[in-house]
Structure 1
Amino acid sequence: MKKILIVDDEKITLGMSKHILDLDYETFCATSGKDAIRIYKAERPDMILTNLHMPEMSGFELLSTLQHQYAERIPAIFMTASEDEEKEIKGFDAKSVNLVRKPFRADVLADKVEEVFARVKKVKGNRVPTETDPMTGLYNKASSQLEIGDMCQEVKGTLMMIDIDNFKLINDNYSHNMGDKILIRFAEIVRAAVRNNDIAGRMGGDEFIAFCQNVTDEEIIAGKVRFMNEELLKSAREFVGEDLNISFGVSVGAVMAPAEGTDFLTLYRKADKALTAAKQEGKHGYNLYVEDKKDKNGKGVPVSNIEQEMQVLGESSMGKGAYKVPAGEFKTIYRFLTRVGQNYQKENRFIIFTITSKKGAKKLGDAVSKFADSLCASLRNSDVVTLNGKDKVELILLEAEALYCEMVLERVLDSWKKQEISEKFEVTYEVQLIR
């Protein structure tokens, strides 16, 4: 007879669940995550039925802890009373995890249990059981390659290589235990960023991977990257304090299938190249890999009239960093964005940097020019920079919510301080939302 561990701090739900399942399964009850861990060690049940939100340790944290400790797939069903809470289990492991909403009928709970057991049995019968990363509960490197390799041959989607920026500084400044804590939390963030039919894994160290089915819109990729950056920074400040002085976030290299390939290694190499580019472009962002258009002989493919016109209108070489333009063009872009902001509610920000000489310093013009160059190198290709007058540099930061803007400013000023000339000049700034 299969064993089921039921975990709930509400005794009524605990008793009702036990009554429903006792006929077909051997059940064990726990009223907290701590008790559940003790019982799991003694009984090694085949499934856990747990309330999603409990004091001290949530059902999500309980399952993560057990998978970390035992390094195995643990079938589980989360009980929840809210539709909003469903997003917290997305991406955990669609093959072995399910959800039931309170209050539930006896037949509904029984069906959910049978469904999970059937899925796990099918997976074990068809292939070698998938192994998980013991720390995070995500797929490990080998399993990620196996699972994504199968999926990318069958469905379209986007492969994302995800790397935590400046993670080593967390270990160096706050201890490896703190680093592990952040890795575990980041795994939860990755799960929340993908859906339950997507795949997420840890490749090792601070590098993660995800394949998102049917995602072929760059806006969706950008949104996932923003979410991961914001949530990771928020979590880091929660753990180490608001005085966190590390430019912390993630860089992502993305590639779409089948446009750029259908086998894992091809997509992986291209995503890795895109990740390197994202790092070079200033970190805390993403780069989408797109192969140049070539025919079978390696020659350029003829383009349509509209593509030719787009090439004429666009830059001959995008280069790296922000788009530096004359003041007149900057004004036109600003006016356009005020219209965009009114219609689409985008959080674009206007920033003015003022450079002033310290006592005895000369050549303000050189300092302003060097600051502008340093600024451009620290930003994305989509941001816009111009010089205004003798002492000002202006910046338009696109789609920059408050936390991201703060992170960018920190990175910009840190980069400037590395310049020898910065010791003789002071930089101040003002920030305003473009409306």
Structure 2
Amino acid sequence: MLCALALLSATAPLATDMYLPGLPIMSESLGTSTVGIQLTLTTFMAGLGIGQLVTGPLSDGWGRRRLLIIGTIVLAASSAVCALAPTVEVLIGARAIQGFSGGIGIVLARAVIADRTSGHESARLFSFMMIIGGIAPIAAPVIGGALLDPIGWRGIFWVLTGASIAMLAGVLVFIPETLPPEKRHGGGFAALAGNFGYVLGNRRFIGYAASFALGFGAMFAYISASPFVVQNVLGMSATQFSLVFAANSVGLVTANIINTRLIGRFEVRSLLLFGVTLMSTAGTLLLVSTVILGAHRWLLLPLLFAVVFSLGFTMGNSTALGQGEVPSAAGTGSAIMGASQFGLAAIVSPLVGLGGEGTAAPMAIAIVVSAGLAMTALLTLTRVPRT
């Protein structure tokens, strides 16, 4: 069941990164501009956030399994439409639906774990999910690049269709209904509004959710800006950037593995506090070194590694603690965490480019601000008594 949930959680990086190597060819094939093709990524990310925000609360009233089955069927169908799209307009629409249905799997995978586990076990499982989340962005562009020549960009979407069918099989075979009828809330707008009010009224949940979203904001600042920082600022080649990105991703996976081993020996909140502290410290040193000492590989690269490494102690632990605060509305809690995660990423992404391609300062500022706000939320909101 855990492997099936992990595959559902890998929807976003697989559907985002696998087709990236084919973007220039897609533009020529569909007779459209670069902006038109980039809209296929924008609509996917928008659908991803909206899908989580809608489906999470619905699952608290309807259960998880039925929505997972519907979501994976729609994901497979929309992926097939992407493969067959005759125009960029059809592709943009299909990508929006693909994102929406992919968001269903992501939000409900977290909710299923929250239904079945709590405490240290929940933190271990969420850390395992983060390991998969760290591997998928490494593997997806490599797989996409390897498949582009033999099967083309349409073939990549057929591969995603096959992966979606595999997800559906995993749901049907391995994932039972985890929310029994007696724990479900009634349907209707009033029930949905009540769930949102219950979750958003829990200050401890807001603190952990903020730590989660802001940690992802720091990560996305790195993802968005690092190609320009490593190549334009540090003067490294595209191949060297790929190696740097892979090394940092390995660091993220390693940190999650270490985190799972330490859970039980240390409190989950203490491990989260360590991760946020490391992120804040490394981000501050990154900013100081960029502004005062200038851009030097021997300084920036280790500090970037430390920032990414810190996320292995931040993302999984904050998810487990946040979900643990709202056990009776785990779907709604998961939806709010997911929507805030991708919403903040959408805000951070353009901001890190404001200074141009020749400076690392905007990236460092975004990381410092994200880490500082995460620390503030963790130290203030999560210390209030449980409601």
Under a length normalisation based on structure 2, what TM-score does the superposition of the two structures give?
A: 0.24
Under a length normalisation based on structure 1, what TM-score does the superposition of the two structures give?
A: 0.22
Q: Which structure: larger Rg? A: 1
* Structure possessing the higher relative contact order (Cα contacts under 8 Å, 6 or more residues apart): 2
Q: Which has the higher helix share?
A: 2
Q: Which has the higher strand share?
A: 1
